[in-house]
Amino acid sequence: MKIAHRNIIRLAAVLALTAASTSVFAQSDEYRRGYAAGYEAGQRAAGEGGQSRWGRLHIEEAEYGVRGSVCNARRGVRDEIERTGVVVAHNELCGDPAPGQQKRLRIVYRCGDSEPVRAFAREGETLRLRCRR
């Protein structure tokens, strides 16, 4: 009888874990769909190439963090440029992808149809992205 009881408990545990993992996978799939929808909405809101009100300046990429742990800072960079004309490398751009570590901001931008320009700043530094006329 004890063996049957143990087997029932083991079976119940397996079923509970299976139900929990199915829920996690469903949430993960739901998260991916929500992320993709949000990304597409952001792209539409940003316009083609993420053009800012500064005219010809297009933010193509912006990553903030350390190797292996970065976040997409494109929206934060664009917002700061539109608000102040400069970008400060800090956690408010997209969160803190590596708590306790010195982070770096990497930006790739274009001015009109020019070649991409890369800019880098350490956490706390200020960047002024410029388009030559």
Query: Do 22 and 55 lie in a common domain?
Result: no
pTM of the full structure: 0.58
Dihedral angle, C-alpha 43, 58, 129, 73, nearest 10 °:
20
User: Which range marks the domain in which residue 75 is found?
Assistant: 49-127
Q: What is the pLDDT of residue 42?
A: 60
Return the amino acid letter for 110: R
48-101 pLDDT per residue, tens = 444 444 557 899 999 999 999 999 999 999 999 988 889 999 999 999 999 999
8-state DSSP, 59 = E
Query: Do 116 and 73 lie in a common domain?
Result: yes
Specify the range with the lowest mean pLDDT, choosing from 27-31, 42-46, 112-116, 128-132.
42-46
- Determine the Cα angle at 110 with ends 105 and 114, to 5°: 145
Reduced to 3 states (helix: H, G, I; strand: E, B; else coil), residue 46 is: helix
Q: What is the pLDDT of residue 48?
A: 43
**Domains: count for the chain:** 2
